[in-house]
Structure 1
Amino acid sequence: MSLDPPTYLASLQGNIRQRPIPWDGAVRAGTLTDDQLAKIRAVDKVKKDVRKHTVEANLDAYRELFVGAPGKKSVLELAAKRQDVVQYILVLLSDLLNTIPALSKALFKSGDPYRHFLPLLAHSTSSDDPIPLLTSTVLVSLMAGAKDESAPTADKALPMIFSYLSSLTKNSDAGLQDIGVLEYSSLLYSSVSRQQFWDQRSETVGPLVDILRATAGKENGDGSASLWSGTTTVARGGFEGSLGGGVGLQLLYHVLLVMWQLSFEAADVGDDLNNEYDIVFLYTRLLRISPKEKTTRLLISTLYNLLLVNQSSLLPAAVLAGLPALLQNLTGRQLSDTDLQEDLAKLRELLEEYTKTKTTFDEYVAEVNSGHLRWSPPHRNAVFWAENARKILEFENGALVRQLAEIMKKPWENDKAVLAIACNDVGCLVREVPEKRSQLEKLGLKTRVMELMGEADENTRWESLRALGGWLKYSFDSK
């Protein structure tokens, strides 16, 4: 998959290509050898077909130029103190790797080509220093071009490059974020690299999910999300027009692309992806505001990959998120993308087959077992509680209320609505089956409800007061 380089990176590389380098003086100073300069001049500022023919006819010579040989230092080693030369060589090598696939594989014949480049990733912690950024571009082109899965790549290079790229994705500059995300995409060419990406998820996946959450906006009380912000911004990366949180459309697309690539490991990562990042609910919210078919296609395809191989755990979450109704609405649109149409049809069929036999009680069970409550229809439905309160208390010998107690133990600093909903449910259980109050008290639910009356969140305080009111009512009635 080939994507145009981000504007900022292309501009940086273009500026470096235009810089005059006093090559002959550099040779006299020992910055590089006559032989190295001859090889550089043979491919520098010449037509692409000439460059390609020259390198392919002398692969061993160009391998020695860039990564050295026994007894011979590479040009990067000799020029280490000349930052202008190092930058120029990195840009030249990136150009060669992108147009001459054979060079990537040739560089690996030296054994471990990374020893010449990995130290440059730590050249500086300043985002204004171009050398780490240019080095990451070389490393990504090298790995992706060779499709290498050797131990030096998997055990050493990938973890280091992922860590560096994560620093870009966490940067406040949208241009640097987009470079990091696009380079992630180039590296996720195999199961080995995708698994390493997932193993480092606190660095890699977490910041990408933060970008998606910023796009989706905060959930409103009705379960919807804040929509398109209506603002227009131009960041260093050149993105025009922004979604919620100021996220550019191009950056959003690239983040979704990376998450789609990760979804090919759905059997290994799907459950944890949802447990840790609530991905099904987040993607459903993003679908509601997706501004383009290309973003909708990635959202739908990723959901299908995840749900297909994790049906027992993720299909209930999809129903809870309201995905079936949303897909019905999408089907009614005039969609021109045939791949999107096919994936949409398959995802709808998967969900329709699942929902055929499911009741509202099943949906409530799935929600509680998910560990994350939302204001879904059952919580405020008096008929639901009249019909199901006793079933909830008795379900699997009280497993459901034990899970409810576990949910209430957490502080939910970023989502106080969970505590308000839990108090609502406890209050409904007390009102409908007052004789089972002791079962709830043994689980610490009464104590926790009383604690939540001191919460700063107004809705939580109100719901805890209502729940406690049920206990007090039946306590007085029993005297």
Structure 2
Amino acid sequence: MDHAELTTEQVLKRDIPWETYMTTKLITGTCLQLLRRYDNRSESYRAQLLDDNGPAYVRVFVSILRDIFKEETVEYILALIDEMLAANPKRARLFHDKSLAGEDTYEPFLRLLWKGNWFIQEKSCKILASIVSARPKSQDGNIANGEASNSKRKITTVDDVLKEGLVEWLCAQLKKPSHPSRGIPTAINCLATLLKEPVVRSSFVQADGVKLLVPLISPASTQQSIQLLYETCLCVWLLSYYEPAIEYLATSRTVPRLIEVVKSSTKEKVVRVVVLTLRNLLSKGTFGAQMVDLGLPQIVQSLKAQAWSDEDLLEALNQLEDGLKDNIKKLRSFDKYKQEVLLAHLDWSPMHKDPAFWRENATNFEENDFQILRVLLTILDTSSDPRALAVACFDLSQFIQHHPAGRVIVTDLKAKERVMKLMNHENAEVTKNALLCIQRLFLGAKYASFLQA
């Protein structure tokens, strides 16, 4: 059978010749006794053995992986460990028992990551991630598994695993997976566990791993792809707490992709982790402006109207909504508007179509002898950018509408002739907004005539 398609159940049906290994002194008599008690037993019986003597079994499993290289046996031991951890993930703590001081419990798995077939790589990765994550949090990264500081034998440390081996292997899987359908999901699954560790975040960013996550942030349909999407977004959420990673996220299409996912996803856990990520990023750099431009305030309103059962999600949506409102206030400030006009970088940023901005700032256009209005008219005369022309026409129409003397001022500045020229522009957006501006001007003239009559 293809080793890439092997299952744990199939491997565990094998009959391993432990007596032969003892005869050839690859395992000890004590090791053989422990294996005989454990091998081919029920889960409940094995659970009792692990409760009574777990560290001894860890020592047996690690020594076999260290000393025996026969593929079928290596696969069998990895399957045993995988089954043991799947039944109770807390058993990963057994690898850090004080009685294992001096045992190099990381080395066999780290070595097999790069040298084994896919079954061996996948199991080694999962096991290594589990036992690294289960280590005592007070443990110094430079001392592994209770290793005595005066140990003569060099023992693989947590730093060795995370900085030199595991993260590198995970990034390699994201670039060129060893298995066509399981390589990337396996790597993402392990990263979702490991990126809780600051040292892993650092190593992952240094390995340029952030950009490998971004293409995986896309709407999903199948159960398998939804799980991959969820764990990918979980990785991004964990990285959103790490400043160097945020710099990478800012220079990629992370936010547009996250918003596309949250807009189309119905899976609550996916929506929750994306909303939490966006909430974290909102106050960083230009993320807030980007989210407003991409229409996130309206999407949040839509999400809030849905029946979610998760209270954390509802709270995060409220926090995200409040944060976006604060950003819109900042974005619609007159100083920001002036900068945009003076640099002639006119675009449909939120303030242009926000009635509150024009109500609050119409009189500010009087500064420096209507400097900003004059610059808008210069843009109408000189710009070849259809978007800038359309926005300038629209802004003039808003000034006419909201300033008490808007029509008179714009007419005195001879804006009507300039806008009229754009009524026949080849760009539909320009002609539409030129027409709107002219309508506002003419409406004022007719209204004035009606009052005089």
Provide TM-score, normalisation by structure 1: 0.61
Q: Deviations over 1:264-315 (max 9, x none)?
A: x24x24640432223223222222212322211111011112225x2x5322
Q: 2:81 is aligned with what amino acid?
A: L
Shift of 1:56: 4.3
Which aligned pairs between 1:54-93 and structure 2 lie closer than 5 A? 54-59=49-54, 61-67=56-62, 74-80=63-69, 82-93=70-81
Structure-2 change in CA distance of 1:291 and 1:59 (3 Å) = closer
Q: 1:186 is aligned with what amino acid?
A: T
Is 1:192 aligned to 2:153, yes or no? no
Is 1:94 aligned to 2:82, yes or no? yes
SS at match of 1:207: helix
Which residue does the alignment assign to 1:280? 255
Is 1:122 aligned to 2:117, yes or no? no
Shift of 1:37: 2.2
Is 1:143 aligned to 2:132, yes or no? yes
Structure-2 change in CA distance of 1:97 and 1:295 (3 Å) = closer
How many residues align? The count is 351
Match of 1:254 among 231, 234, 243: 231
Q: Mean Cα displacement is larger for which, 43-52 or 183-192?
A: 43-52
Aligned equivalents of 1:155, 1:198: Cα separation in 2: 16
Structure-2 change in CA distance of 1:193 and 1:111 (3 Å) = farther
Provide TM-score, normalisation by structure 2: 0.65
Aligned equivalents of 1:49, 1:90: Cα separation in 2: 19
Aligned equivalents of 1:425, 1:361: Cα separation in 2: 23
Match of 1:318 among 287, 291, 297: 291
Which residue does the alignment assign to 1:472? none
Which aligned pairs between 1:260-409 and structure 2 lie closer than 5 A? 260-263=237-240, 265-266=241-242, 268-269=243-244, 271-308=246-283, 310=284, 313-359=286-332, 376=348
Match of 1:176 among 171, 183, 186: 183
Aligned equivalents of 2:339, 2:14: Cα separation in 1: 62
Shift of 1:135: 1.4
Structure-2 change in CA distance of 1:376 and 1:47 (3 Å) = farther
Which residue does the alignment assign to 2:147? none
Which residue does the alignment assign to 2:450? none
Q: Is the 8 A contact 2:126 2:190 kept in 1?
A: yes
Q: 2:94 is aligned with what amino acid?
A: L
Aligned equivalents of 2:371, 2:34: Cα separation in 1: 81
Shift of 1:211: 0.9
Which residue does the alignment assign to 2:27? 32
Aligned equivalents of 1:117, 1:392: Cα separation in 2: 69
Shift of 1:21: 1.9
Which residue does the alignment assign to 2:162? 158
Is 1:103 aligned to 2:91, yes or no? no
Shift of 1:112: 4.2
Which residue does the alignment assign to 1:424? 385
Q: Deviations over 1:394-436 (max 9, x none)?
A: 9xxxxxxxxxxxxxxxxxxxxxxxxxxx98379759x99xxxx
Structure-2 change in CA distance of 1:49 and 1:329 (3 Å) = same
Aligned equivalents of 2:263, 2:48: Cα separation in 1: 51
Aligned equivalents of 2:214, 2:340: Cα separation in 1: 22
Q: 2:227 is aligned with what amino acid?
A: Q
Aligned equivalents of 1:367, 1:53: Cα separation in 2: 71
Which residue does the alignment assign to 1:399? none
Shift of 1:103: 0.9
Aligned equivalents of 2:303, 2:33: Cα separation in 1: 60
Aligned equivalents of 2:340, 2:166: Cα separation in 1: 38
Structure-2 change in CA distance of 1:296 and 1:428 (3 Å) = same
Q: Deviations over 1:349-385 (max 9, x none)?
A: 11112323532877779999xxxx997468999xx9x
Q: Calculate percent identity across the aligned residue pairs.
A: 25
Shift of 1:86: 1.0
Which residue does the alignment assign to 2:18? 23
> Can you give the 5+ residue segments of structure 1 that lack an aligned partner in the other structure?
1-7, 68-73, 217-227, 233-238, 241-247, 395-421, 433-461, 467-479
Shift of 1:393: 12
Aligned equivalents of 1:48, 1:365: Cα separation in 2: 71
Q: Deviations over 1:48-97 (max 9, x none)?
A: 44434433443553353244xxxxxx2223212x1111111122223334
Which residue does the alignment assign to 1:14? 9
Q: Is the 8 A contact 1:379 1:424 kept in 2?
A: no
Match of 2:213 among 208, 216, 230: 208
Aligned equivalents of 2:311, 2:4: Cα separation in 1: 33
Q: Is the 8 A contact 1:174 1:251 kept in 2?
A: no
Q: 1:118 is aligned with what amino acid?
A: L
SS at match of 2:41: coil
Structure-2 change in CA distance of 1:177 and 1:357 (3 Å) = closer
Structure with greater Cα Rg: 2
Aligned equivalents of 1:351, 1:379: Cα separation in 2: 13
What CA RMSD, in Å, does the superposition of the two structures yield over aligned residues? 4.3
Structure-2 change in CA distance of 1:378 and 1:105 (3 Å) = closer
Aligned equivalents of 1:121, 1:48: Cα separation in 2: 27
Which residue does the alignment assign to 2:121? 132
Aligned equivalents of 1:61, 1:393: Cα separation in 2: 84
Aligned equivalents of 1:355, 1:140: Cα separation in 2: 42
Aligned equivalents of 2:73, 2:316: Cα separation in 1: 49
